[in-house]
Amino acid sequence: MTSSHLAHDFRNFPYWWDSAGIEFEAHSGDSPAALPGRAEVAIIGAGYTGLSAALTLARAGREVVLLDAEMPGFGCSSRNGGLVGPSFHKLGLTGLVARHGVRKAHAILSESMDALEFLYAFIEAESIECGLQRTGRFRGADRRGHYEEMAKEIDGFKRAVGLEADMVPRHEQHAEIGSDAYYGGVVYHQDGHLHPGLYVAGLVERVRAAGVKIVGNAAVTGMRQDSGDQVLAIGDRQLVANQVLVATNGYTPRALPYFRRRVIPLRSAIITTAPLKQDLMRELSPKGRGFGGTSRLVIYYRPSPDGTRMVFGGRAFHQDDRPAAYTNDLYAEMIGIFPQLNGVKITHGWSGTVAYTFDHAPHIGSHEGVFYAMGYCGSGVGRATYFGRKVALKMIGDPEGKTSLDDLAFETRPFYTGTPWFLPLIIRWHAFRDAR
Ligand SMILES: Cc1cc2nc3c(=O)[nH]c(=O)nc-3n(C[C@H](O)[C@H](O)[C@H](O)COP(=O)(O)OP(=O)(O)OC[C@H]3O[C@@H](n4cnc5c(N)ncnc54)[C@H](O)[C@@H]3O)c2cc1C
């Protein structure tokens, strides 16, 4: 594949930023000049986590200042694929049971289901128009053996937490996907997808209406404690807060070393096709479902909210933003699954950094009086909204803030400072294993 697959007006930023009439720039926050000197609560990072927390805190009567280094939603929250699901723990049922025992493993998994249902209920209650649809998701088996493994795993999830899912044998998969690339698969009925940009814009609107001061272009450059308060440096400005929440996920800066040492930023990228014929879209996704596979290197894809394009994402091989490389790689992946798309143009390609953790679990809690929620391991649309609310409840001392993840140690590794030099090697190794 060459750059000839890029549309002449190709854009190296999220399709969500200029699709469906969204005016993302309108939400760029107040200027740093508007920064107050004091706040009851300061939140660092205005993605889904920070916004969800801010809403809960403001409605509980707290005076909140929400800071973002860029514009609100600039990070993953306006860059993701918009796929929503229970986001089960990366270790799976067996891995979780081995690590935590049956009781705890089931508690973690059922809270994943709760988080998803919370997201559906929350968006409806807030009347956020973001194209949320419970379409279900088809996950194809990339190897013959994966089908049987998935069937076993699904059986376990059904018995443990009542997951609604059905296996689809290979000879029936065309009812789900216009592809022969898979050896059958599973349909997760509770999954869905939304328009990430409209969701973040809707959240910004609700948060503003609740009285939160949102300040964009306000990068926190330092943090220290002083007589029980937290003092944030924002360039040469200072903000003193009674409470601070760190909600920076895969964008956690050097200025917050404790947190930076505990998340592994991993680049994920997406391409979007030009509008396709309706018949072709119906062939690719007959039921409008989202999709994924079982390979180690995650891929995810879905129809655009208006059902006219395919939005296709996966891991990038480089840690920095290299659109020429990932648009090529993703295009090749896409036509491997959908040969029908060979020759279609790509109108958008972009990337962002998700946050992995050393134990593959999200983390929520407080460290030396500073609250945090982060580490969604690439599945954070539902989790960030849910854990953002939970951490806010913890901050106001509400027992409803309790979660099944509270007692997990937030691990780091010796000599790890937040620059994952080892990732390219691991990614190449996974690609090699996938290819065998
Ligand atoms: C390409 C891609 C595809 C994805 N697809 C999916 C998907 O389909 N489904 C799913 O569930 N999840 C997906 N995710 C993951 C999901 O988007 C994230 O887990 C989620 O958005 C995390 O939200 P957050 O608010 O915690 O972090 P973010 O939205 O990343 O927000 C962090 C914010 O912190 C700000 N910040 C950083 N440093 C500072 C500082 N010093 N001072 C002030 N602010 C600062 C950043 O500017 C940023 O806006 C995807 C992610 C990417 C990148």
Looking at the chain, the whole-number percentage of residues with pLDDT higher than 70 is: 95
Q: What is the pLDDT of residues 237-256, one digit of tens each?
A: 999 999 999 999 999 999 99
- Given phi > 0 = left and psi -120 to 50 = alpha, else beta, which region is 115? alpha
Residue 22 has pLDDT above 60, yes or no: no
Rounded to whole angstroms, the Cα distance separating 423 from 222 reads 27
Nearest alpha carbon to residue 151 among 161, 160, 141: 141
- What average pLDDT does this structure show over 208-230? 94
- Under the banding of pLDDT at 50, 70 and 90, the label for residue 304 is very high
String of b and e for 343-359 (b: at least 16 CB within 10 Å)? Answer: ebebbbbbbbbbbbbeb
Q: What is the pLDDT of residues 144-168, one digit of tens each?
A: 999 999 999 999 999 988 999 999 9
- How confident is the prediction for the chain on average, in pLDDT? 92
- For residue 275, the 8-state DSSP code is P
Longest C-alpha distance within the chain, in Å?
Answer: 67
Q: What is the pLDDT of residues 23-36, one digit of tens each?
A: 544 445 667 778 99
What count of residues does the chain have? 436
Residue 1 has pLDDT above 70, yes or no: no
CA of 209 from ligand 1 middle (Å) equals: 22
**Amino acid (one-letter) located at 202:** G
- Under the banding of pLDDT at 50, 70 and 90, the label for residue 266 is very high
Site residues for ligand 1, CB cut-off 6 Å: 44-50, 67-70, 74-77, 79-84, 87, 219-220, 247-251, 253, 255, 268-270, 300, 313, 351-352, 354, 374, 376, 378-381, 384
Contact present, 236 and 392 (Cβ < 8 Å): no
Neighbour tally for 201: CB within 10 Å: 22
Query: For 10-24, 95-109, 194-208, which range has the lowest pLDDT when averaged over its residues?
Result: 10-24
The minimum-distance atom of ligand 1 relative to the CA of 87 is: 11
CA of 23 from ligand 1 middle (Å) equals: 19
- For residue 33, the 8-state DSSP code is G
Query: For 140-144, 293-297, 302-306, which range has the lowest pLDDT when averaged over its residues?
Result: 293-297
List C-alpha distances in Å: 17 to 26, 197, 350: 11, 6, 11
3-state percent breakdown (helix, strand, coil) of the chain, nearest 5: 35, 25, 40
Distance linking the first and last C-alpha atoms of the chain: 22
User: What per-residue confidence (pLDDT) applies to 27?
Assistant: 43
Rounded to whole angstroms, the Cα distance separating 45 from 67 reads 6
CA of 270 from ligand 1 middle (Å) equals: 14
